[in-house]
Amino acid sequence: MATSAEHHDLLIIGSGSGNSLISEHWKGRSVVIADSGTFGGTCLNVGCIPTKMYAYPAGLAALPPEARSLGVGLEFTGADFPAIRDRIFTRIDGISRDGLRYRRDDLDYTSVIQEEVRFVGPRRVRTASGREITADQVVVAAGSRPTLPAIPGLDLPSVHTSDTVMRLDRLPRRLLVVGGGFIACEFASVFAGLGTEVVQVNRGHRLLKQHDMSVSTTFTKIAARRWDLRTGWTPAGIEPVEDAERAADGWVRVRLDRAEGQEQTGIVEEAIEADAVLIAVGRTPNTDRLDPAAAGLDVTDDGVLASDEHQRALSDGAPVEGVYVLGDVANTWQLKHVANHEARVVAHNLEHPDDLRANTLGPVPAAVFTHPQAASVGLTVEQALADYGADAITVKTQSFGDVAYGWAMEDTEGVCTVVAEKATGRILGGHILGHEAANLIQPLVTGMAFGIDAHRLARGQYWPHPALTEVVENALLGLDVPDSGLL
C-alpha cells in the first residue's frame, strides 16, 4: 500500500541558487524547499563569499615584500584569525539564518524541510524521517560536497575540508594542503598570507592544471616560492603524532606515497607533520544522494543530471515534464555565476511553460582568488591547437611588466595570453595571471560573448591610459589577425 504524500505546486531540492526561484508568481500557491545542509547553499556558507572575505585580508598581509621593492616600508605583524573569522561568519550566518526564517516562517506560501530527500518515483521524494512529498513541478539544485580520498585518518579532528577549515579556533602553525586546483590553491595562498607555514602536496607537477600552460606553470613557480610545494605525491594515511602532548594539540602525521606515473627519485614514501590538514581535491555533485534512477532521470558520465537546453531533466534522452535541474548537480563548471544564470532560465520556464527560454549564454569565465589572481575564459592554447591546428590560430602572451601600470608595480610575473582564429580574428580564449586578473578578464569575455573580433575589440574603444587593462589591449594587438580598419 503506497504511503500517502503531501502535495505542493513546487518542490525545490537545495537552498542555494534554487532559493532564488521563488517570486511573487508563487504567492497563493504552495512551495517547499528541501535542504539538509546550512540554508543558503555552498556559495554563501562555505564557498565563494567567505573564501573571498579571507582572500582580501590575506592579500593585504602579503603586500610588505612588494612594497619594499618600491621603496615603501610596510610591516606585517600578524593576523588576528578569530577576528577575521568572526567578521566573516557573523555576517554570513546572519544572512543564512534570516533567509531560513523568511522562507520557513514569514511567507505563508513557502515551507522548508531541513532533511535529506531521495526520489522514490517521478516528482516524488521521501525525506530521511519518512515523509513523502509530491509536486507538480520539481527543481533539483542539490549542489555538491567536498571529495574525500579513500585513506585512513580522515575522521581525525585536525583534518578538514573547505566546509570546515574557515571556522578554525586559531590560525594553524603548519597547514598541509592536499590538492592543486582552485580550492587548494586559494586556501594555500590565504593561510600563507596570514602567517601559517603552508605545505601543499599535489599529485601532478603543475598547479591549476586546467588553466593555460602560461598561467599554470608561472603560478606553480610563484607558489613554490611562497610556501613549501611538494609535487608528485599523494596522501596515504593520517595518524596522530607519537608525542602525546603534541597529539593533544592536534598535530598529526600525514604519510605520502609517490603518485602513480610520477618519476621516482629514490624516495617513495615521505611523512609530514602538521597541526591542520586540508583535503581539497575537488567537489562531488550530490547526484548519488538523490537516487535519480528511482525517478527515471538520466545521469551523465561526469555524474551530473542530464538536461536539455531549457534546463529540463532528461529520461532516456527525452525531457521530463515538470522537472528542472541547475547548479553543481547539473553541470561540471561548479561556478556560482553559472548556477545563477541557470536559475534565471529555470525561473522563467517554471512560470511560462508555453514560452520556454533556452540556456545559450557563453562563454564561461572562471577566476582563482590567489595572490596573484588567475582568470580564464574559453580555450587554452593547447586546446585550440588540438581543435584548430597550429596554422589556423594565433597566440600572444603579453607581460604585465611591458605596460605602464606594470612598470609602476615593477611586475615581473603577470601574463595575459590571448588565442584567436587567425583568418577571422575570432577570440577563442583568454588567460590571465596577475594583479586583478578576475577583473581584467572581462573585456575578453565581452568580446567572445558578443562576437567582437580581436582587432575591433582593441581599436574600437578607448582603453584608459595607463590603466592595467592595457595589458589586455596590447595582447589583442599582438595577434596575427585581420585589420578591422579602425585606427
With H, G, I as helix, E, B as strand and everything else as coil, classify residue 43: helix
Could you tell me the three cell numbers for 292? 535519480
Q: What gap in Å lies between CA 177 and CA 199, rounded to an integer? A: 6
User: Does the active-site annotation cover 205?
Assistant: no
Locus of grid cell 504511503: 3
Q: How are beta strands 427-434 and 373-378 bridged, if at all?
A: antiparallel
**Annotated active-site residue in 25, 211, 337, 465:** 465
* Dihedral angle of Cα 439, 444, 447, 452, to the nearest 10 degrees: 140
Query: What pLDDT, on a 0 to 100 scale, did the predictor assign at position 264?
Result: 55
Give CB contacts under 8 A, 24+ apart, made by 463-470: 465/404, 466/403, 466/404, 466/405, 466/408, 467/405, 468/400, 468/403, 468/405, 468/406, 468/435, 468/436, 468/440, 469/440, 469/443, 470/403, 470/404, 470/405
With H, G, I as helix, E, B as strand and everything else as coil, classify residue 336: helix
Those residues with Cβ within 8 angstroms of residue 232's Cβ, 6 or more apart along the chain or in another chain? 202, 203, 204, 205, 258, 259, 262, 263
Q: Is 470 buried (19+), middle (13-18) or exposed (0-12) by CB count in 10 A?
A: buried
Query: What pLDDT, on a 0 to 100 scale, did the predictor assign at position 4?
Result: 82
C-beta atoms surrounding 39 within 10 Å: 23
Question: What tens-digit pLDDT sequence spans the chain (487 residues)?
Answer: 456 899 999 999 999 999 999 999 999 999 999 999 999 999 999 999 999 999 999 999 999 999 999 999 999 999 999 999 999 999 999 999 999 999 999 999 999 999 999 999 999 999 999 999 999 999 999 999 999 999 999 999 999 999 999 999 999 999 999 999 999 999 999 999 999 999 999 999 999 999 999 999 999 999 999 999 999 999 999 999 999 999 999 999 999 999 976 655 556 679 999 999 999 999 999 999 999 999 999 999 999 999 999 999 999 999 999 999 999 999 999 999 999 999 999 999 999 999 999 999 999 999 999 999 999 999 999 999 999 999 999 999 999 999 999 999 999 999 999 999 999 999 999 999 999 999 999 999 999 999 999 999 999 999 999 999 999 999 999 999 999 999 8
Q: Are 327 and 16 contacting, i.e. CB atoms less than 8 angstroms apart?
A: yes
pLDDT tens, residue by residue, 406-465:
999 999 999 999 999 999 999 999 999 999 999 999 999 999 999 999 999 999 999 999
Q: CA separation (Å) from 36 to 15, 94, 137, 288, 342? A: 9, 18, 20, 15, 22
Rounded to two decimals, what is the model's pTM? Answer: 0.96
pLDDT tens, residue by residue, 211-241:
999 999 999 999 999 999 999 999 999 999 9
Q: CA separation (Å) from 47 to 15, 98, 183? A: 14, 19, 9
Query: What pLDDT, on a 0 to 100 scale, did the predictor assign at position 230?
Result: 96
Q: What gap in Å lies between CA 2 and CA 134, rounded to an integer? A: 13
Give which of 349, 5, 287, 29 is closest to 140, Cα–Cα.
287
Q: How far is CA 49 from the centre of its chain?
A: 11
Eight-state DSSP code of residue 98: H
Query: What pLDDT, on a 0 to 100 scale, did the predictor assign at position 1?
Result: 45
Cis peptide before 372 (omega within 30 of 0): yes
pLDDT tens, residue by residue, 266-307:
566 799 999 999 999 999 999 999 999 999 999 999 999 999
